[in-house]
Amino acid sequence: MPAIDLGQFLDRLERSNLLTRDDLEALHAEIDPVRDVVQAEPLGRKLVRRGQLTGWQVQRLLSGRDDFQLGNYRLLDLLGRGGMGTVFKAEHVMLGRVV
């Protein structure tokens, strides 16, 4: 997978609606472009450690995807794929239930 820069990662993260506006603003405030050399992959790992994103979500963001919404569900992880379709772990956006 080709490396993406931090700006691209943050743009995809914003378009994905995976984090709240407040979380995104806090994340931007943490990044000091003068002092810190922040790269997309380490930042993604940091968000996984914090429990804000899943590893699957970060990998999709790094590969150029920002589509994590399927109807009323936010996709959290890929559970399996086969001849009949794909199974995801997801969270109902309004109810907060994981299915």
Neighbour count for residue 6 (Cβ, 10 Å): 17
Q: Is 37's pLDDT higher than 80? A: no
Q: Are residues 49 and 22 in the same domain?
A: yes
Determine the average pLDDT of the residues in 1-9: 78
Two tokens, residue 45: 């790992």
| Burial of 40 per CB tally in 10 Å (0-12, 13-18, 19+) | buried
Q: Are residues 8 and 54 in the same domain?
A: yes
* Domains contained in the chain, number: 2
Q: Are residues 74 and 37 in the same domain?
A: no
Determine the average pLDDT of the residues in 37-49: 87
Which residue range is the domain that position 35 belongs to?
1-66
Q: Are residues 32 and 77 in the same domain?
A: no
CA 18, 12, 27 angle in degrees (round to 5)?
65
| Burial of 18 per CB tally in 10 Å (0-12, 13-18, 19+) | buried
Q: CA neighbours within 13 Å on the CB side: how many for 32?
A: 3
Q: Are residues 38 and 61 in the same domain?
A: yes
Q: Are residues 48 and 84 in the same domain?
A: no
Quick one: pLDDT at residue 33?
64
